[in-house]
Amino acid sequence: MYGQHKPLVLIAYYSPSGSTKKLAESIGEGARSVEGVEVVLAPIGEVSPQNLLDAQAILLGSPVYNGNIAPAVQEFINSWPFEGRPMKDKLGAAFVTGGGISIGEEGVMLDILRAMLIQGMVILGGEEVEAAFGASAITGEGPFVGGTLDPIFLAKGFGLGKRVAEKALILNK
């Protein structure tokens, strides 16, 4: 199956406020910086089961809702094909946005990663130790208020996208 075409990196997100979409776009830029991959960036409502099956790598993003995955994202995860474990050995990564510092970003990333592990996916974190669980951004507290994502968070997103795309190329050989 692999090796005959460009590996597909799917970046799926849920973003009612637009912040998670901004982080997804940064991840997409990082993935597109790697020659030889195809990148699809889409809200979860536009992602079909076939899109999931066609992807070599899936990066999933959610805002933090009361310290948890957004209900729509959990519903999306629960819809993934499971019988026969068709998503086994695909690359998986997580990204989240939260309104404040220590509001649950790491916990939500781990919840997403746990769901990916149940599917048998191979999990990746970001480029730096500060992005070990994936990419996250704070959107509404302290110096991070104002509607735009701080460049430090966008850089973590870029690094995550680039790392996942590089690994997808290796697995595609």
pLDDT per position as a tens digit, 147-159: 789 999 999 999 9
pLDDT digits (tens, 9 = 90+) for 59-94: 999 999 999 999 999 999 999 999 999 999 999 999
The pLDDT value given to residue 140: 87
Domain assignment of residue 2, yes or no: no
Confidence at 142, pLDDT banded by 50, 70, 90: confident
Confidence at 1, pLDDT banded by 50, 70, 90: very low
Domains identified in the chain, total number? 1
Strand ranges inside 14-131, DSSP E: 38-43, 57-65, 68-69, 91-98, 122-123
Domain assignment of residue 168, yes or no: yes
Q: Where in the sequence is the domain holding 153, given as residue range(s)?
A: 8-172
Q: What is the pTM of this model?
A: 0.95
Domain assignment of residue 1, yes or no: no
Check pLDDT > 70 for residue 30: yes
The H or E element that residue 8 is part of is strand 8-13
pLDDT digits (tens, 9 = 90+) for 89-113: 999 999 999 999 889 999 999 999 9
Separation CA 19–CA 148 (nearest Å): 8
Domain assignment of residue 68, yes or no: yes
Q: Are 104 and 68 in contact (CB under 8 A)?
A: yes
* Dihedral-angle region of residue 116 (phi above 0 means left; psi in -120 to 50 means alpha; beta otherwise): alpha
Mean pLDDT for the chain overall: 94
**Domain at 15, CATH number:** 3.40.50.360
Domain assignment of residue 28, yes or no: yes
Domain assignment of residue 49, yes or no: yes
Token output for 27:
């991840």
